[in-house]
Amino acid sequence: MTTDTPASQASAVLVPGQRPAPAVPPERRGRTEVTDRVAAKIARHAAREVAGVREVIERGGIRGTRPVSATVRGDTVEIGLTVSVAYPMPLRAVAAAIRSHVASRIAALTGLQVSHVDITMTELTAAPPAPTWGSSREAPQEASRDTPQETARETTSREAPQETARQAAPKPPPRTPPEVSP
């Protein structure tokens, strides 16, 4: 059973301009704190987003350094990162990109200002070899110390018999559906 309420008793919808002002201003309602751990996690994720960064070291690291650290003091934060970088990348450019990106991400997500970002680069890692067209999906073998010319000759001599075998294989005759008698 439903009851109809008169229009005078129905609650009116108020838009933000019509709502009464809150009794306590937003600045005095409470406080939001960003801990060192949260700032460190944001910095770690932001550093991974930078081109040329292979890995952000999370545990261990070099003696005397903390892999990822953050110290929040009031509205500022100090960040320390330990990273490994891809080999052909210029280190100063990668460090500048890390500093800029980490500072902008922390400011956007937390509202904190980054006073400085200390970066320790522990290793340079080579990029994994790019897969080639004729390669199989087997596990990569240890790189040989041959010259590039010898490697190219070996590759073409290994692939040549496969190409001729593919070309020499006869094509099967087309399949026709069986005839149905009435």
pLDDT of residue 164: 47
Please give the Cα distance from 142 to 154 (Å, whole number). 15
With respect to residue 79, please indicate whether it lies within any of the assigned structural domains.
yes
| pTM exceeds 0.85 for this model | no
With respect to residue 133, please indicate whether it lies within any of the assigned structural domains.
no
61-65, 114-118, 121-125, 141-145: range with lowest mean pLDDT = 141-145
With respect to residue 150, please indicate whether it lies within any of the assigned structural domains.
no
**What is the tens place of the pLDDT at every residue in 138-170?**
444 444 444 444 444 444 444 444 444 455 556
**What is the tens place of the pLDDT at every residue in 29-67?**
788 889 999 999 999 999 999 999 999 987 766 665 668
Pairing assessment for the beta strands 68-73 and 76-86 based on DSSP bridges:
antiparallel
Give how many domains the chain has, as a whole number: 1
5-9, 22-26, 53-57, 123-127: range with lowest mean pLDDT = 5-9
Mean pLDDT of the chain: 76
pLDDT of residue 143: 45
With respect to residue 159, please indicate whether it lies within any of the assigned structural domains.
no
pLDDT of residue 142: 45
With respect to residue 143, please indicate whether it lies within any of the assigned structural domains.
no
With respect to residue 57, please indicate whether it lies within any of the assigned structural domains.
yes
Range of the domain at 102: 32-125
Q: Residues 6 or more apart from 79 whose CB is under 8 A from it?
A: 39, 40, 43, 69, 70, 102, 106, 114, 116, 117, 118
With respect to residue 116, please indicate whether it lies within any of the assigned structural domains.
yes
Residues 77, 113 contacting (CB under 8 angstroms): yes
With respect to residue 78, please indicate whether it lies within any of the assigned structural domains.
yes
CATH of the domain at 47: 3.30.70.1350
Distances (CA, A) of 169 to 166, 172, 173: 6, 9, 13
